[in-house]
Amino acid sequence: MIQRIDHLGIAVKSLAEAVPYYEKALGLKCEHIEEVVSQKVKTAFFACGDVHIELLEPTDPESPIAKFLEKNPAGGVHHVAFATDAIEAQLGQAAAAGVRLIHEKPFDGAGGKQVAFLHPKSTFGVLTEFCMPKPGAAGH
């Protein structure tokens, strides 16, 4: 079951440039920075109440975030992530409802979580992530 919005993923060209905005202009605290090699991104997490902001900087021209920035040079909201307590069942429910999955199976994302994405062509233009803490992981 979906429990809440876990985080908003925001594509930026440079964490070094974007992090000070979130810290100084908004007063949020950068909790940690982590590279997700499989997704070719470096991420920075800020707590904002129960929801996190996940900044995503591409580490490679083939990164999905690099492609997003080609189309959206200023950066912008890249995905919405929902926390679920059963990610495989959540993917199954979406697939049964006719939604196209980008990932049939969850994989290891940032923050010690299992993640999987739904295709924006099936979700009214919003790249949608499901995420679930891995058993035993503290996560966000």
The residue written with tokens 């999987």 in the block is 116
> Regarding beta strands 128-133 and 76-84, do their DSSP bridges make them parallel or antiparallel, or are they unpaired?
parallel
Nearer to Zn ion, 54 or 57 (CB): 54
Shortest distance, position 109 Cβ to Zn ion, whole Å: 6
Nearer to Zn ion, 53 or 81 (CB): 81
Task: Report the DSSP beta bridge partners of residue 107.
Answer: 115
C-beta of residue 108 within 8 angstroms of C-beta of residue 139? no
Q: Which residues bind Zn ion (CB under 5 A)?
A: 9, 54, 81, 129
Shortest distance, position 100 Cβ to Zn ion, whole Å: 18
The Cα–Cα gap between 114 and 4 comes to 16
Shortest distance, position 8 Cβ to Zn ion, whole Å: 8
Nearer to Zn ion, 57 or 129 (CB): 129
